[in-house]
Amino acid sequence: MKISFTDSLPADTKLVAHVVSKGALPDSLENVLAAGAKAARFKGNAGQVFEGFAERNGKVVRIALAGSGDKDAGDRMAKLEKAGAGLAAKYSTSGESTVVLDISDSGLGAEEVAAVLLGLRLRNWRHDTYRTKLKEEQKKTLEAVKIVGAPTGAETAWADAEAVAEGVEFTRELVAEPANKVYPLSFVRKVRERFDGTEAEITVLDEEQMEELGMNALLGVGQGSEQPSRLLAVRWNGGGAERPTVFVGKGVTFDTGGISLKPGPGMGDMKWDMGGAGAVAGAMLALAKRKAKANVVGVMGLVENMPDGKAQRPGDIVKSMSGQTIEILNTDAEGRLVLCDALHWAQKEYRPDRIIDFATLTGAMIIALGNEHGGVFANDDSLADDLLSAGRQSGDKLWRMPLGPAYDKLIDSPIADIKNIGPRPAASVTAAQFLQRFIEDGTAWAHCDIAGMVWADKPGATWGKGATGFGVRLIDRFVRETVEK
């Protein structure tokens, strides 16, 4: 979507939108439109949209009012995003190609305008690459937004928010693509393409290099696939602390469960089992695009889990890069095997100040929290608090879950150092406990289980049905609040 700023209303304007706070219709609004809005019970609630028509300069013009809620609300920015998203939801397939957003009578500041535009752009995103038989009225037509009457600083504020939008859209693209299009090698290729022109440093380890390092846990997951595994790292050194903050993402580009085969119904959803790596890739793109003043690294373990004659078996024992041995009791508990080597490598390679992993790790997390929150486990209260705060501010909400030595006995193996799965109770907790065993003493670490958040079966505030881009805004806000200060 092309977003531009202009000083006056374009002569060819067909659709004009106004952002309206609750109970405050614009003074410039024609009487008939004001009466129509009241008759339609338009109150200016966040996301509410009213449409009418007026004759202006001898032309009939479509007029839209987008509600932004109470202007004094504590979640004002989120409500402004909903106002923009409401416009996108209504006009994305309306036949209109351009919305002229008249801010002159709204009283909005620069950051508030950027919030409206962010909501509008994110909600307008849709993955139509493979849809060839859409009816005319189903095709997306909205391509541009022109802003009139914006306050000083609005263009700068939008440039910053636009970088975040690009990151979210990149994550959505990676998550939405089918597994025959996004697999470890193509994931790496797409990242290289999108980071071209930035100053980010990209490192890729192939299977031979990982084998030399002893990454047998990660490699074991992918050994049944025709697609070779990769470890991908993107470093953005924008200044600040010498020791970087590191984000690690689980990138299982398709998960059949391996020999512990998943049931057929719903297995197609497992194309998004790389949602953690997708979030890290998108967040790193946002940080690079907006030139964040931070030293940050994103590490992504990329594998495909398939049931081949070469696949690892339940009962196998592998030695991880850390030297710890793992008894594989269920090959569908594969994400933690990818992450344990990626986490260990990231700690050895970068000596991070803090390390946070993102993974669609357990179905049990969806049972616990549904699709409202991701779960966060942490060995450091300050880190947990910072992530929870970033989640509240960004809208990518988290809920803290427990860790404790009492859970460790559930994953002790009688013949190895650890087994890769515990009993059904506390399944998300034991998965986190597994990862914690690969964190070095004194390293602040958090694990975000986002299994219920990367894909939506129905539209949300700023996304349609499908990939949500969850995690990008959370990471971006976390970096802003804790690293760039």
Which tokens sit at 228?
Answer: 């070779």
In this structure, are strands 98-102 and 15-20 parallel, antiparallel, or unpaired? Answer: parallel
Q: Does the residue 158 lie in any domain?
A: no
The beta strand positions in 31-78, using DSSP E, are 49-56, 59-67
Is 319 annotated as catalytic?
no
pLDDT of res. 91: 97
> The pTM is what?
0.97
Q: Which residue in the list 14, 43, 262, 400 is annotated as catalytic?
A: 262
Which tokens sit at 103?
Answer: 């801010």
DSSP reduced 3-state for 421? coil
Average pLDDT over residues 448-460: 97
Please check whether residues 128 and 255 belong to one and the same domain: no
Is the pLDDT at 443 greater than 90? The verdict is yes
- Position 289, amino acid: K
Q: What percent of the chain has pLDDT over 90?
A: 94
Is the pLDDT at 228 greater than 80? The verdict is yes
In DSSP terms, which residues pair with 234 in a beta bridge? 202, 298
Q: Does the residue 290 lie in any domain?
A: yes
Domain boundary among 152, 184, 214: 152
**Residue 232's domain is classified under what CATH number?**
3.40.630.10
Please check whether residues 92 and 184 belong to one and the same domain: no
Categorize the per-residue pLDDT at 462 as very low, low, confident or very high, splitting at 50, 70 and 90. very high
Which tokens sit at 235?
Answer: 């470093």
Please check whether residues 124 and 208 belong to one and the same domain: no
Is the pLDDT at 485 greater than 80? The verdict is no
Is the pLDDT at 211 greater than 80? The verdict is yes
Which tokens sit at 378?
Answer: 């942490």
Is 351 annotated as catalytic?
no
Categorize the per-residue pLDDT at 281 as very low, low, confident or very high, splitting at 50, 70 and 90. very high
pLDDT digits (tens, 9 = 90+) for 346-380: 999 999 999 999 999 999 999 999 999 999 999 99
| Range scoring the smallest mean pLDDT among 72-76, 285-289, 437-441 | 72-76
Average pLDDT over residues 167-190: 98
* CA 416 – CA 332 distance, rounded (Å): 19
pLDDT of res. 242: 87
Categorize the per-residue pLDDT at 11 as very low, low, confident or very high, splitting at 50, 70 and 90. confident
Helices (H), 53-177: 76-91, 110-124, 154-176
Domains: count for the chain: 2
* CA 73 – CA 70 distance, rounded (Å): 5
Is the pLDDT at 181 greater than 80? The verdict is yes
Please check whether residues 138 and 115 belong to one and the same domain: yes
**Residue 125's domain is classified under what CATH number?**
3.40.220.10
Average pLDDT over residues 440-461: 97
Of 253, 254, 275, 256, the closest CA to residue 264 belongs to: 256
Please check whether residues 335 and 389 belong to one and the same domain: yes
390-401 exposure pattern, b = at least 16 Cβ within 10 A, e = fewer? bbebbbbbbebb
Average pLDDT over residues 404-425: 97
Q: With beta carbons less than 8 A apart as the criterion, state whether 236 and 292 touch.
A: yes
Q: Which residue in the list 76, 82, 146, 336 is annotated as catalytic?
A: 336
Please check whether residues 144 and 185 belong to one and the same domain: no
Categorize the per-residue pLDDT at 26 as very low, low, confident or very high, splitting at 50, 70 and 90. confident
